[in-house]
Amino acid sequence: MNRLDEILCNTIDPEYEPEQLTAEEHRRIMKLIRKKTGGGRKKGRRTVRLLLAAAAVTVIAASTVFAVKQYLDRDLSARLGITESESEKFDDAFDTPVCSVSGNGITVNVLQTLSDTRTIFAVFTVTTDEDIVFGDEYFFKRERFIPEEAEKYSSFEYNVSLMSEEGRTKKYLAFISGTSIDIESGRLYLQLEDLCRYLRDENGEKLRDENYNYVTETVKEGSWDLLWEYNSDITTDIKEIDTDTKVMTVPGEGEPLPVWIKKIVLSPLSAAVDFEIEGDWDTGYADLPFDVNFSDGTKLSSDELKRNLAASYDGSMGHVYARFSRIADIDNIESITIGDSVIPVK
């Protein structure tokens, strides 16, 4: 038995069952370990052993071995516009689930998830056997990425897109956006069904049928289904502002109807606005335009935000969610402009 084993045996009650860490405790532990270990830089063996011994009780309580610093996936960072200097802000915002499925010559691996509560990004790879080398003509007939208990949510959208390709492996990005409420802890479900390919003519052009639809064939039949746990406590920094601010009016059947802002949720990746309109309102106004204003005088305009905007409504309540085109420092967001009203968020 080495010295570390002796410390653990003499310190920890063998019948002790550690409590679940809160999100804030998890963040503080991670920051302390990064500080003590130089953020992943190599130290001498003796120094590392002493640090591990000093942190032994904390590590056991967390039920986690912090042996190797993990980094946000590079392709995900590039897709979201996260620079190398900004990536450290997301150290505590992503998870690395162990989830894989293989069948019929195809292996799917989930590598990483990143969340800001209303959006979850998942990075996964698809690797084929030696019979297939991916090219532009291959695709899955069906791609789904949803919460397992999707019926709990009044509105959400999902998307799957290719990020990179190397040899027989493709890396994909999937995301779920819940416009009206936070996506709660639970299991996430990814489904890929039937690998197909486009047929081409002698000139290499994609063939079309009489209805001008592409002609395809199924190369690998099957459904590759993955379920893994999602922890909503592992997320980016979040700022929530509860308010009751009248910002504008919209046409009603009689008098104009006031729009009341009820809640604003900000993260480095996005902004969400919940609002209420009492009366019989035109739901075409659900995609409420707004600007995000920063303390240095710059802003993300409604024109920029509408490129990645989703809206929903439920009775008198409306919800609009916009993903930023660049990473935002939420401490430097000064206000939100909706109509002629400016709502401070400091």
166 shares a domain with 87:
yes
256 shares a domain with 297:
yes
Q: Is 301 exposed, middle or buried (0-12, 13-18, 19+ CB in 10 A)?
A: middle
Residue 204: CATH number of its domain: 2.60.40.1630
179 shares a domain with 135:
yes
User: Average pLDDT, stretch 32-61?
Assistant: 38
Q: pLDDT-based confidence at 49, cuts 50/70/90?
A: very low
User: Average pLDDT, stretch 332-341?
Assistant: 91
d(CA 61, CA 32): 15
Q: CA 5 → CA 8, 33, 216, distances in Å?
A: 5, 20, 60
Q: CA 139 → CA 158, 162, 227, 241, distances in Å?
A: 17, 10, 21, 42
Across the chain, mean pLDDT equals 78
Q: What is the pLDDT of residue 217?
A: 95
DSSP code of residue 74 = H
What residues does 115 pair with on adjacent strands?
A: 120
Q: What is the pLDDT of residue 242?
A: 93
Q: Where are the beta strands (DSSP E) in the chain?
A: 94-95, 99-103, 106-115, 119-128, 138-147, 156-166, 169-178, 186-198, 216-230, 239-250, 257-266, 270-276, 291-294, 299-300, 309-314, 317-323, 333-338, 341-344
221 shares a domain with 79:
yes
43 shares a domain with 176:
no
DSSP code of residue 34 = H
19 shares a domain with 109:
no
Which pTM does this prediction carry?
Answer: 0.70
Q: pLDDT-based confidence at 339, cuts 50/70/90?
A: confident
147 shares a domain with 243:
no
| Single-letter code of the amino acid located at 196 | C
Q: What is the pLDDT of residues 221-242, one digit of tens each?
A: 999 999 999 887 888 888 999 9
67 occurs within a structural domain: no
68 occurs within a structural domain: no
Query: Domain count of the chain?
Result: 3
Measured at the alpha carbon of residue 30, what is the angle toward residues 28 and 32, in degrees to the nearest 5?
70
Measured at the alpha carbon of residue 140, what is the angle toward residues 137 and 142, in degrees to the nearest 5?
145
Last residue of a domain, one of 22, 38, 62: 62
Residue 327's φ and ψ, nearest 5 degrees, are: -70, 135
Q: What is the pLDDT of residues 65-92, one digit of tens each?
A: 444 567 889 999 988 888 888 887 888 7
- The domain in which residue 301 lies consists of 239-344
Task: Give Cα 324 distance to the centre of its chain.
Answer: 13
- Cα dihedral angle (4, 7, 11, 12), rounded to 10 degrees? 30
Q: Are 99 and 109 in contact (CB under 8 A)?
A: yes
d(CA 45, CA 238): 38
